[in-house]
Amino acid sequence: MSAKTMTLSYQSFAEFDANTRDLNLDLDAESGYVSLAKGVTYADEMGSCNNRDIETVSQTQWIRKQFWVDNPRTENAVLLPYIARKPRPGSRLRIQINDKEIIFEEPTEREYWVDCWTKIPIPAEALRPGLNTFIFSADGDETWHFLIEHSRQPNRSAKSRDAGRNWDDERLGVNDTGDGEYMIRLKLDQYPSCGVMESPMIDLGKLASEDGIAVPFDLYGIRFNLQADKPAGTRIDLKCRLGWTPEYDLETWTDWFDVTSDHPHHLPLVPRYLQWQMTLRTDNPRCTPRVEGLKISVDVEVETEGDAPSLKITEWSVPTVIQSSHRFSYLPAGTKRAEILRKRWKLDDVIAGAESELVRFARLSAWTRGQWEDGWNMGEIDFCPPWDSMVILELASRQFALGMCTHYTTVFVHACAALGLIARTLVIRCHCVAEVWSEDYDKWVMIDTGGDSNDETKATYYYTRNRIPMSALDIHDAWIRQDFDGVAIEPKSAAKRFEKDVISRTQLFERFCIHLRNDELRTLSPGESEHGAGSYHYDGYLWWKDDRTPPHPWFSKHSGRVGDFYWTPNRTQIHLSRTDHPEVLHVELTTTTPNFKAYLVQMNNGDWEPQPDGFSWKLRPGENCLRVRAVNKFGWKGKESRVILSV
């Protein structure tokens, strides 16, 4: 046995950014410092309602919204009602905030992002700890229309039909049949109480080795050295957990424990993997702790190799997997309604014979757009369909209901998902598009199915830079930087249709968000029931933010971490370790493949065969090659991972 100390150091932006973090943390791009993210949006609803869930405010019918704020200390406060139907410019809305009254006057014009969401600055000194009451009434004969999300809790919304004399919190809405919360939010310029960062699983056995193949070791201690600024009222908690498998499992990992104590003793086996967790906390909403660096030292004793053969890895073609901090809900294979969609609309025929992956997506996009002959009107039944592709298609075939970019994208995304291809929905400026995962280009690619309102041309397209397809973030950056060198629209038919609009259309990507699910064929909830019929208001979207794109105050989910938007699916990682037999390595596999079915493995140019996630690899003198790929339940294969080593 030989003693060894392994060191993990986090000092830079890239080192900290490799870890996942919740939305309450910020990471400074220049310094790499970690701190709490300033700005807290208070909301008692998610925006899961439609534009018919109306409450009217007049001179005599008032509404009341209450917010619980533990500590209202803030420099700036903004009240954020969603006003679905606005009166004429100049109309006045009276707002009583606890014991103080202010007047909001409807502006002459509103730009796109504040068409319904309304930013009303309020005096911060009017707020108080605990329950804060906001009462809305019309100052004049005009009426204002607010939205309601139906629920029973937390019961902080009410209306008065007699100018505030009596209040009713159970019979809300135009028909007095609703119960829930008004879509009114409150944004305070303060720090949240806590934020959490977590590392990926760290392979200590691999770190302890000299050749990248994990070796047996004994664990003697773990020490954390934190460089941080902790003002009064703030603190930083550090925890870690240990495991015997490369992915967390209840049976193979310890519970989280505080790093101020030694690692748990009396473990049945020496754990191979480590994960750490860092929580920044504050009791003062005006102060945040700041982490400048983190160093982790792990003391081990490594078993000497003895008669083990000398191994040398000559090729390591195993992709680095980027993890999102947020879960994406994929449509499960075997979903009955997805199978009906695939069969009823002959989706396999649409992609049959496609000579490339991008052609496959382009065909599905063009097929989708072709289902409408007269989009962008409410149809014979004056209806905006929900995000259910089969309902949308049936209504479109009869020209019964609204068909627009949101519905085109929904059908395209669901068609991809029903075939086992990875796609998701994005909201951009006054538009809705999709992104698909490209195996060929190893990246996410934006596809615009509903960008052409001309029912004669029906062009669908994607952007490229120097012939490489672009993601939404690529296009956003091009617009922000005004850098369009090599940027084009493809395919050729779409390029001709939009030849004068190639650059101007990139402005639509000044802001974008992703919907963190594509499984609406299984369940429509959670989400907006009529997506796109008005300004988006569901608070489950993840919005991109950067130095030029500050967060929307009425939404609570913003991230500037690229990995939160652009994770890597369909990738397989290989974890090698030595065994008691010198000529045998133990192999463990993990994958990021949605609807995963099996691993296909080829050893030394033999046949491709299914293997479990853990198996033995017998080595031979000379060169040894291990090739691995995952296959999903639809039969699509992910990119190959390959290791070549010599004995």
Please say whether the beta carbons of 263 and 253 come within 8 A. no
Of the listed ranges 5-9, 157-161, 372-376, the one predicted with least confidence: 372-376
Report the alpha-carbon distance of residue 320 to residue 314 in Å, rounded: 18
State the CATH number of the domain containing residue 346: 3.10.620
Nearest by Cα to 137 from 117, 165, 115: 165
In tens, the pLDDT along 205-242 reads 999 998 889 999 999 889 999 999 999 999 999 999 99
State the CATH number of the domain containing residue 581: 2.60.40.10
Please say whether the beta carbons of 323 and 200 come within 8 A. yes
Question: What three-state secondary structure class fits 520?
Answer: coil
Beta bridge partners of 406: none
Pick the last residue of a domain from 188, 213, 242.
188
State whether 210 and 290 are in the same domain.
yes
Indicate the pLDDT class of residue 401, thresholds 50, 70 and 90.
confident
In tens, the pLDDT along 314-326 reads 999 999 999 999 9
Pick the last residue of a domain from 519, 540, 565.
565
User: What's the average model confidence in pLDDT over 381-408?
Assistant: 90
Q: How far is CA 438 from CA 447, 468, 486, 566, 592, in A?
A: 11, 11, 20, 12, 14
Q: Look up residue 348 and give its two tokens.
A: 């396999």
Contacts of 496 (CB under 8 A, 6+ apart): none
Q: Above 80 in pLDDT, residue 263?
A: no
Please say whether the beta carbons of 71 and 77 come within 8 A. no
State whether 452 and 390 are in the same domain.
yes
Beta bridge partners of 104: 93
User: Per the domain annotation, does 554 fall within a domain?
Assistant: yes
Report the alpha-carbon distance of residue 558 to residue 635 in Å, rounded: 35
State whether 145 and 271 are in the same domain.
no
Nearest by Cα to 291 from 567, 565, 21: 21
User: Per the domain annotation, does 34 fall within a domain?
Assistant: no
User: What's the average model confidence in pLDDT over 123-141?
Assistant: 97
State whether 395 and 247 are in the same domain.
no
User: Per the domain annotation, does 26 fall within a domain?
Assistant: no
Q: Above 60 in pLDDT, residue 307?
A: no
Q: What are phi and psi of 36, to 5 degrees?
A: -70, 145
User: Per the domain annotation, does 331 fall within a domain?
Assistant: no
Tally of domains within the chain: 4
State whether 402 and 547 are in the same domain.
yes
Pick the last residue of a domain from 540, 565, 590.
565
State whether 76 and 225 are in the same domain.
no
Report the alpha-carbon distance of residue 158 to residue 181 in Å, rounded: 8
CB atoms near residue 375 (< 10 Å): 22
pLDDT for 403 equals 86
State whether 464 and 402 are in the same domain.
yes
pLDDT for 455 equals 86
State the CATH number of the domain containing residue 85: 2.60.120
State whether 435 and 495 are in the same domain.
yes
Give the whole-number percent of the chain exceeding pLDDT 70: 98
State whether 225 and 262 are in the same domain.
yes
DSSP letter, residue 117: B
Whole-number average pLDDT of the chain: 94
Beta bridge partners of 446: 435
User: Per the domain annotation, does 324 fall within a domain?
Assistant: no
User: Per the domain annotation, does 316 fall within a domain?
Assistant: no
State whether 429 and 517 are in the same domain.
yes
Q: Which amino acid is at 384?
A: C
Indicate the pLDDT class of residue 261, thresholds 50, 70 and 90.
low
User: Per the domain annotation, does 320 fall within a domain?
Assistant: no
Of the listed ranges 134-148, 169-183, 292-306, the one predicted with least confidence: 292-306
Which residue carries 């003693």 as its tokens?
3
Which residue carries 């992709």 as its tokens?
319
Q: Above 60 in pLDDT, residue 306?
A: no
Domain residues for the domain of 451 are: 336-565
User: What's the average model confidence in pLDDT over 90-116?
Assistant: 95
Nearest by Cα to 121 from 105, 108, 109: 105
State whether 452 and 470 are in the same domain.
yes
Nearest by Cα to 435 from 444, 564, 494: 444
Whole-structure pTM value: 0.95
User: Per the domain annotation, does 315 fall within a domain?
Assistant: no
Q: Which amino acid is at 96?
A: Q
State whether 13 and 78 are in the same domain.
no
Report the alpha-carbon distance of residue 385 to residue 92 in Å, rounded: 34
Report the alpha-carbon distance of residue 252 to residue 559 in Å, rounded: 32
Report the alpha-carbon distance of residue 464 to residue 343 in Å, rounded: 33
Burial string for 236-252 (b: 16+ CB within 10 Å, else e) reads beebbbbbbbbeeeeee
**Which carries the bigger pLDDT value, residue 365 or residue 2?**
365
Report the alpha-carbon distance of residue 486 to residue 582 in Å, rounded: 54
